[in-house]
Chains A and B, each alone.
Chain A
Amino acid sequence: MPEDTQGIPRREFLRVSARGVALAAVVGGTGYLATRSREARYVWQLDPSKCTQCGKCATNCVLKPSAVKCVHAFAMCGYCELCTGYFEPEPNALTTAAENQLCPVAAIKRTFVEDPYFEYEIDEPLCIGCGKCVEGCRAFGNGSLFLQVRHDRCLNCNECSIAAACPAEAFSRVPATQGYLYRPGYSPATGKQG
């Protein structure tokens, strides 16, 4: 059958040329995108000025406990004795007893410095990123407590599941070289961080 002996090479020819075209398309497309991707690495971060402390950071991260933790900008802190980020709104007493504390996991350490100042430090391994202290601090204090994605913990998922749940759209991909976002007007002097 002459038709068949001709038909098979023709199909093979088409396949080889289609393969060439597809290969060129994949390699060319990759090359085009690669020229734009030089040194680009992104990490997830939340913008503290958009954050509403809804508590979803604590519950929606794929990590337990969450990769989002509270950060304390000491230079912004007023070192108040009656800290609204530390104490329940109406504490029984101004002591470190658990029933007086706002933090559900007692992750804020309070130490006396000099009268009347106290220093507050986040015990990061304990912190679950619920944002209760952030809310308290912002309500009445200086707002020196804020939530941040900690990059030593974050798995940097392709789509951050907290970002998908965040009601304030505070999460975005930021360049890895500037992986932290601070409260407006505040920037730690490290040279590297903006």
Chain B
Amino acid sequence: MRARSFILVALLVSACGAALGVEQRFPPPEFTETQHQLPCEQYPQPVPSTVQNMDVWVLVVALCLATWLALGLRSRNAVFALMVACLVYFGFWRQGCVCPIGAIQNVTLALADAKYAIPAAVLAFFALPLVFTLLFGRSFCAAVCPLGGIQDAVVVYPVRVPQWLEGGLRVLAYAYLGGAVIFAAVAPVFLICRYDPFVGFFRLSGSLGMLLFGGGLLAVGMFIGRPYCRFLCPYGVLLGWLSRLSGRRVTITPDACVRCRLCEDSCPFGAIRKPVEPPTPAERVAGRRRLAWLLGLVPVLAAVGFVAGGALGTPFSKLHPEVTRAERVRAEELGEVKGTTDASDAFYESGRTTDALYGEARRLRGRLALGGRLFGAWMGLVVGGMLIHLTLRRRRDDYEADRGTCIACGRCYDYCPVELRRRKDAGGETKARGG
């Protein structure tokens, strides 16, 4: 902060002399006796963009380092050290803004509103982790993301969440993503920023609700690893998709899996998958039939969601200040409520007509009703996709990290005897070379 104010001192623009276009009630005096000169009011300029650009370079370096530490060096301790460093830099030093999770909304707004030009640094924050995940898996989540870092640091006694519950809760993240995108495009209200649970800790200030939400997540996170990442993070949904397609990625064992089961419970985030026997021919036929049914069901679910989502229009519009203002003004007009609120006062002062206000509110409600329908259709697709995912049964020979949910934290390496032997051999080699 101090360094930043220092830069700013050099950038202060003083404003001596001014142009007045309207006549004043009390004309400014001329000071004929004292020849008093008017002081300058000052308008300090924003932080120069170089600081934000530096954040992008730090992000690039951190992503490269995280990928190398997790996949090349295979060291949990090194990943942890980088995670703490990024938590301090992106979290407590840069105070958590802008982050890739929130950047989803800026990208949505830029696509929806041609007048909004997304700042280059925000765009880089959105795209870089996606590209890295596509190539190397989710090492961003393990070591770079400050929201992940603060949760990872409090994992004390992780318990296993049953697979069905894990899948069910994951729907919340999809809903959050859908809601955030719709509100950023239609309203524009940035829900992800508004309900960011940890930014209050990074800034050491925040509303009570925010701090309680964040504190609750951290308390739960002592036993259920990274609850925000797994069940709420909208960016994690995108990363999960791309991570399924990733090229190089975490393998628990550096060589052949010996199926010793030692790593089975090592993952606090439930991302290790057991070997699966290939289905019998009879099961395979049944599975195909079920898949065909479900594929047919998906459009039905989406359609049902679209229709049912119409009911969401009213609750959605209650989140928009203009609609609640119109409702308040209407209620005051009809005498249903007494007194005024700040919102209705602001309306009366603005000199707009009630017709204009109601028209705007109706237009917004219409847009949010469409948003609600799209949200319903999206949730239909999500549920359909999840059902399909549940029925797919793939042969798996080894213990593997799940392609979508593994965040490359590197905890499981220490449990694998093959890995331990590799380290011993590698250590012996360096010793031999040194001697």
Instruction: Report if A190 contacts B (CB, 8 A).
Output: yes
Kindly report which residue of chain B lies nearest to residue A168, judged by CB atoms: B346
Instruction: Report if B341 contacts A (CB, 8 A).
Output: yes
Kindly report which residue of chain A lies nearest to residue B33, judged by CB atoms: A114
Given A41-B49, A156-B46, A186-B18, verify A62-B205 contact (CB < 8 Å): yes
Given A74-B38, A158-B105, A167-B343, verify A179-B203 contact (CB < 8 Å): no
Instruction: Report if B314 contacts A (CB, 8 A).
Output: no
In the bound complex, do residue A42 and residue B345 qualify as a contact, i.e. CB atoms below 8 Å apart? no
Instruction: Report if A154 contacts B (CB, 8 A).
Output: yes
B110-132, CB < 8 A from A: 110-111, 116-120, 122-123, 126-127, 130-131
In the bound complex, do residue B36 and residue A159 qualify as a contact, i.e. CB atoms below 8 Å apart? no
- Residues of B close to A75: CB separation below 8 A: 17-18, 20, 28, 38
Instruction: Report if A97 contacts B (CB, 8 A).
Output: no
CA distance A112 to B284 in the complex (A): 93
CA distance A169 to B22 in the complex (A): 25
Given A30-B123, A121-B39, A164-B194, verify A152-B18 contact (CB < 8 Å): no
CB distance from A192 to the nearest CB of B (A): 6
In the bound complex, do residue B97 and residue A158 qualify as a contact, i.e. CB atoms below 8 Å apart? yes
Instruction: Report if A95 contacts B (CB, 8 A).
Output: no
Instruction: Report if A129 contacts B (CB, 8 A).
Output: no
Tell which of A43, A64, A115, A167 touches B205, judged by Cβ atoms closer than 8 Å: A64
CB distance from A94 to the nearest CB of B (A): 16
- Residues of B close to A73: CB separation below 8 A: 18, 41
- Residues of A close to B25: CB separation below 8 A: 78, 140-142
Q: List 28 A-B contacts (CB under 8 A).
A: A4-B395, A18-B245, A19-B245, A22-B245, A23-B134, A34-B120, A38-B117, A40-B119, A41-B46, A54-B345, A62-B205, A64-B205, A75-B38, A80-B26, A113-B36, A140-B25, A151-B46, A154-B46, A155-B97, A159-B190, A167-B321, A168-B342, A168-B346, A168-B350, A188-B15, A188-B18, A189-B19, A190-B13
**5 additional contacts, CB 8 Å, given A37-B118, A52-B346, A77-B28?**
A151-B46, A159-B193, A168-B346, A168-B350, A188-B15
CA distance A78 to B97 in the complex (A): 41
Given A26-B130, A179-B43, A184-B22, verify A41-B123 contact (CB < 8 Å): no
In the bound complex, do residue A179 and residue B321 qualify as a contact, i.e. CB atoms below 8 Å apart? no
In the bound complex, do residue A41 and residue B31 qualify as a contact, i.e. CB atoms below 8 Å apart? no
Kindly report which residue of chain B lies nearest to residue A152, judged by CB atoms: B44
- Residues of A close to B349: CB separation below 8 A: 52, 168
CA distance A117 to B28 in the complex (A): 10
Kindly report which residue of chain A lies nearest to residue B38, judged by CB atoms: A74
Tell which of B21, B49, B110 touches A186, judged by Cβ atoms closer than 8 Å: B21
| Interface size, A (range) | 35 or more
Residues of B within 8 A of A (CB): 4-5, 8, 13-22, 24-29, 31, 33-34, 36, 38-41, 43-47, 49, 52, 95, 97-99, 102-103, 105-107, 110-111, 116-120, 122-123, 126-127, 130-131, 134-135, 189-190, 193-194, 199, 203, 205-206, 242, 244-247, 278, 321-322, 325, 341-343, 345-346, 349-350, 395
- Residues of A close to B18: CB separation below 8 A: 73-76, 186-189
A-B contact count (CB 8 A): 217
Instruction: Report if A92 contacts B (CB, 8 A).
Output: no
- Residues of A close to B110: CB separation below 8 A: 33, 36-37
A93-142, CB < 8 A from B: 113-115, 117, 119, 121, 140-142
In the bound complex, do residue A114 and residue B203 qualify as a contact, i.e. CB atoms below 8 Å apart? no
CB distance from B233 to the nearest CB of A (A): 16
In the bound complex, do residue B205 and residue A63 qualify as a contact, i.e. CB atoms below 8 Å apart? yes
| 0/1 string, A43-66, CB within 8 A of B gives 1 | 100000010101010000011100
CA distance A18 to B38 in the complex (A): 66
CA distance A30 to B278 in the complex (A): 41
In the bound complex, do residue B106 and residue A158 qualify as a contact, i.e. CB atoms below 8 Å apart? yes
In the bound complex, do residue A179 and residue B46 qualify as a contact, i.e. CB atoms below 8 Å apart? yes
In the bound complex, do residue B123 and residue A62 qualify as a contact, i.e. CB atoms below 8 Å apart? no
- Residues of B close to A121: CB separation below 8 A: 39
CA distance A187 to B36 in the complex (A): 21
Indicate the member of A34, A75, A80 with the most B CB atoms within 10 Å. A75
A142-167, CB < 8 A from B: 142, 148, 150-152, 154-159, 161, 164, 167
CA distance A83 to B16 in the complex (A): 23
In the bound complex, do residue B107 and residue A33 qualify as a contact, i.e. CB atoms below 8 Å apart? yes
- Residues of A close to B39: CB separation below 8 A: 74, 119, 121
Kindly report which residue of chain A lies nearest to residue B245, judged by CB atoms: A19
Given A63-B205, A158-B190, A179-B43, verify A37-B119 contact (CB < 8 Å): yes
In the bound complex, do residue B134 and residue A76 qualify as a contact, i.e. CB atoms below 8 Å apart? no
Instruction: Report if A79 contacts B (CB, 8 A).
Output: yes
Task: In the A-B complex, list the 7 residue pairs whose CB atoms are closest, starting with the nearest.
Answer: A78-B26, A188-B15, A185-B21, A168-B346, A185-B22, A40-B117, A159-B190
Tell which of B16, B126, B131, B206 touches A27, judged by Cβ atoms closer than 8 Å: B131
CB distance from A165 to the nearest CB of B (A): 9
In the bound complex, do residue A114 and residue B36 qualify as a contact, i.e. CB atoms below 8 Å apart? yes
- Residues of B close to A56: CB separation below 8 A: 342
- Residues of A close to B103: CB separation below 8 A: 158
In the bound complex, do residue A23 and residue B131 qualify as a contact, i.e. CB atoms below 8 Å apart? yes
- Residues of A close to B123: CB separation below 8 A: 30, 33-34, 37
